[in-house]
């Protein structure tokens, strides 16, 4: 079957995802028009087949993840999505069927989150499929939530449940550890889905923008990403590991193999929000999270000990040798 050229491909599969700023994807550039008094938050994430996803993952899932991880960054920054651009680096042997599935997943994610395509580039490679998405959100000027605003005494909070993505990777991947067979079908499906389809916590974005003192998304593991936030804010934290929210599936896996608790705390692919809030702002933030239907759990408190994270489990101090999962 003959494959379409770049322009046909764009018209057929990507133009339908384009917003007004995309100008029909027939020009050299797209446009962002922030409302008066707003500025643009810019985030970029690259994903490579065999590193960030499996080459034979469903193309729609790959697309959802590629956009989802960027939207997760926007959510953490308290930004409202405004659009994105895509660099699509296609390996030899791609098919139009694959591309149609990819575009359908991308369209779904873009529509569900109000984040239209405004531009892109498509090139070919002798290597693996590679995607780079740059996503744009808007915040009132000067109000992006940074990593650096946490102060001693503030609460440390996380959205959702932690560790699903890291365990989901094991469940979904080709070399399944023994514990996987001890989970029921629903738990396995839940974990694999959490790995494949990150859900950006955009429902929290406005509340974070108004009430959080610092925030970031958890992409490389809670322990490692908390270390980055502490460094940026010049503060420390005391974390009670028993309070870290775990899903039913992760709890079942830890029952089967207690060593998995460490994987849950340190593994990547959570795409939940890690944030801090003062005692005064916390009630409003918690109420907004409740309204949005997103679980938000206090797991500890900010201290003045710059860069030092103290973890305790059932009252006993606990250290981590390897803090963070690195995609790099």
- Minimum distance from CB of 94 to a copy of itself (Å)? 11
Which of residues 40 and 189 has its CB atom nearest to a copy of itself in the complex? 40
Say if residue 52 carries a ligand binding annotation. yes
Which of residues 104 and 232 has its CB atom nearest to a copy of itself in the complex? 232
- Minimum distance from CB of 311 to a copy of itself (Å)? 21
Say if residue 120 carries a ligand binding annotation. yes
- Nearest-angstrom CA–CA distance, 168 and 178: 14
Say if residue 57 carries a ligand binding annotation. no
CB 158 within 8 A of CB 273: yes
- Nearest-angstrom CA–CA distance, 268 and 322: 12
Q: Distance from first CA to last CA of the chain, Å, rounded?
A: 37
Which of residues 82 and 164 has its CB atom nearest to a copy of itself in the complex? 82
- Minimum distance from CB of 38 to a copy of itself (Å)? 9
Say if residue 269 carries a ligand binding annotation. yes
Say if residue 217 carries a ligand binding annotation. yes
- Nearest-angstrom CA–CA distance, 76 and 66: 16
- Nearest-angstrom CA–CA distance, 66 and 34: 24
- Footprint on this chain of a copy of itself (rule: CB under 8 A): 5-7, 21, 23, 26-34, 36, 39-48, 50-52, 73-74, 76-77, 79, 85-89, 91, 118-128, 130, 132, 134, 136, 141, 144, 146-148, 216-217, 228, 231-232, 326-328
Say if residue 121 carries a ligand binding annotation. yes
- Nearest-angstrom CA–CA distance, 152 and 239: 13
- Minimum distance from CB of 185 to a copy of itself (Å)? 33
Specify the pairing of strand 38-48 against strand 272-277. unpaired
Closest CA to 222 of 244, 204, 200: 244
- Minimum distance from CB of 326 to a copy of itself (Å)? 7
Which of residues 86 and 254 has its CB atom nearest to a copy of itself in the complex? 86
Which of residues 308 and 326 has its CB atom nearest to a copy of itself in the complex? 326
CB 191 within 8 A of CB 125: no
Tell me the three state secondary structure of residue 113: coil
Which of residues 24 and 283 has its CB atom nearest to a copy of itself in the complex? 24
**Residue 126 to residues 78, 92, 117, 131, Cα–Cα distance (Å):** 38, 6, 26, 14
- Minimum distance from CB of 308 to a copy of itself (Å)? 18
- Binding residues for Mg(2+) are 28, 43, 45, 73, 121, 217, 220
């Amino acid at each position: 079957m003959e494959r379409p050229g770049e322009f046909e491909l764009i018209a057929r599969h990507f133009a339908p995802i384009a917003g007004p700023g995309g100008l029909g994807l027939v020009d050299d550039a797209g446009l962002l028009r922030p409302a008066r008094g707003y500025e643009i938050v810019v985030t970029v994430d690259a994903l490579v087949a065999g590193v960030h996803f499996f080459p034979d993952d469903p193309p729609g899932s790959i697309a959802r993840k590629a956009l989802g991880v960027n939207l997760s960054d926007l959510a953490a920054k308290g930004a409202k999505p405004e659009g994105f651009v895509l660099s699509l680096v296609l390996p030899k042997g791609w098919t139009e069927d694959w591309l149609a599935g990819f575009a359908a997943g991308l369209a779904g994610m873009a529509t569900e989150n109000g984040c239209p395509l405004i531009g892109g580039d498509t090139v070919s490679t002798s290597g693996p499929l590679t995607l780079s998405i740059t996503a744009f959100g808007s915040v009132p000027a000067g109000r992006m939530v940074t990593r650096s605003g946490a102060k001693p005494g503030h609460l440390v909070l996380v959205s959702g449940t932690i560790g699903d993505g890291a365990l989901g990777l094991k469940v979904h991947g080709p070399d399944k550890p023994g514990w996987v067979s001890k989970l029921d079908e629903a738990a396995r499906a839940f974990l694999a889905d959490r790995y494949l389809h990150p859900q950006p916590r955009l429902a929290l974005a406005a509340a974070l923008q108004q009430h959080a003192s610092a925030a970031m998304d958890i992409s490389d593991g809670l322990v490692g990403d908390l270390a980055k936030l502490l460094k940026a804010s010049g503060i420390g934290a005391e974390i009670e590991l028993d309070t870290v929210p775990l899903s039913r599936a992760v709890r079942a896996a830890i029952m089967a193999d207690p060593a998995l608790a460490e994987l849950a705390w340190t593994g990547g692919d959570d795409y939940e929000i890690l944030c801090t809030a003062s005692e005064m702002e916390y009630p409003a933030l918690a109420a907004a999270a409740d309204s949005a239907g997103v679980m938000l759990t206090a797991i500890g408190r900010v201290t003045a000990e710059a860069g030092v994270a103290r973890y305790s489990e059932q009252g006993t101090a606990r250290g981590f040798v390897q803090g963070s999962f690195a995609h790099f």
